[in-house]
Amino acid sequence: MANVAIVGATGAVGQEFLKILAERKFPVDELRLLATQRSAGKQIAWHGRVIEVQETTHDSFKGIDIALFAGGSVSTEYARSAVESGAVVIDNSSAFRMDPDVPLIVPEVNPEDVAWHKGIIANPNCSTIIMVVALKPILDLAGIKRIVVSTYQAVSGAGREGIEELEAQVRAWTKDEEIINKVFPYQIAFNLVPRIDVFGEGDYTKEEWKMVKETQKIFHIPEMAVTATTVRVPVMRSHSESVNIETERKVSVEEIRQALAKAPGVVVIDDPAGDRYPMPLFAADTDEVYVGRIREDLSIEKGFNLWVVGDQIRKGAATNAVQIAELLVK
């Protein structure tokens, strides 16, 4: 049994942590729910218990074995205090992902990296997690020389506010009222915004660089060629990705399909004749990564196209973190 703290317990990812800990029957002894001063005092029912939310402070982690951080600036403020109190931190923010002393883990891909943590383990970016779960079986089968990925990311990736903004804009559109945007740089209803997070080096966004650098780190191939374009789309939940790869070794589509079908955490839905393929509508509230539209890229000798979909709140965030915690308790 483990004493577990959830930092950011009242937010979208924090609430998903609670749900997944119960679903997966994680061996929780004490569960400590931490949030901002504004949320302190709230009562949350969980698994037959009623737990009062406490304000997060540097002294909140005494007696805690595993601290699940839901993300945000709170990680840089309190993660080190949690480690000093004896907890192992599993962090969902981007604060520690590229720290060479912090393992960046997707349990279906690189579970062995949990062995060298020094108190903090990073949960990768949601889009990265979804992609690498789908690509690991192909990497093992044929090697991967190059990855080109374009994402179609749901508004819930921007939190509850993103969902509320899309809903409000759709309502305003149906009533011919003014459409107001605050969360996204432009109207998201009936639109696509090809910019997630701020622009950085080479006019790539921070989200795009996360996919490049995190993939190289998780696969332990720093020279792997990866390029990304990340796009916000008017979908409530679950991210989709168009992934083009060039393999090191020539293999067939059927070999790739079979490798994916056997892989942990992957579901293949690839039936063009029956018009079946993954879609975010049906991936929502599940933990698997769905792969379809598997076909040769006819423009190069060892190229393939994949369509990949996953729930970015569950597998892309909370479920992945709880799976890491399961590696620790094992």
Residue 217 to residue 102: CA distance in whole angstroms = 11
| Mean pLDDT, residues 239-263 taken together | 98
Neighbours of 52 (CB within 10 A): 11
* pLDDT band with cut points at 50, 70 and 90 for residue 159: confident
In the chain the domains, ranked by start, together with CATH numbers, are 2-124+317-329 (3.40.50.720), 128-312 (3.30.360.10)
Sequence-ordered list of residues with C-beta below 8 angstroms from that of 249, at least 6 positions apart, any chain: 141, 142, 143, 302
CB 139, CB 296: distance < 8 Å: no
For the chain, what is the mean pLDDT? 97
Task: Inform me whether the pLDDT recorded for 330 exceeds 90.
Answer: no
Sequence-ordered list of residues with C-beta below 8 angstroms from that of 263, at least 6 positions apart, any chain: 108, 133, 136, 137
Is 117 an active-site residue? no
Model pTM?
0.96
Task: Inform me whether the pLDDT recorded for 243 exceeds 90.
Answer: yes
Residues in the chain: 330
One of 47, 58, 126, 220 is an active-site residue; which one? 126
Q: Which residues pair with 268 in a beta bridge?
A: 291
Q: Looking at residue 12, what is its pLDDT?
A: 84
Q: What's the pLDDT tens digit per position in 64-116?
A: 999 999 988 899 999 999 999 999 999 999 999 999 999 999 999 999 999 99
Place of tokens 């981007």: 94
Task: Inform me whether the pLDDT recorded for 160 exceeds 90.
Answer: no
CA distances from 31 to 28, 54, 92, 257 (A): 7, 11, 18, 41
Neighbours of 48 (CB within 10 A): 6
Is 220 an active-site residue? no
Sign for the CA dihedral angle at 202, 207, 208, 212 comes to positive
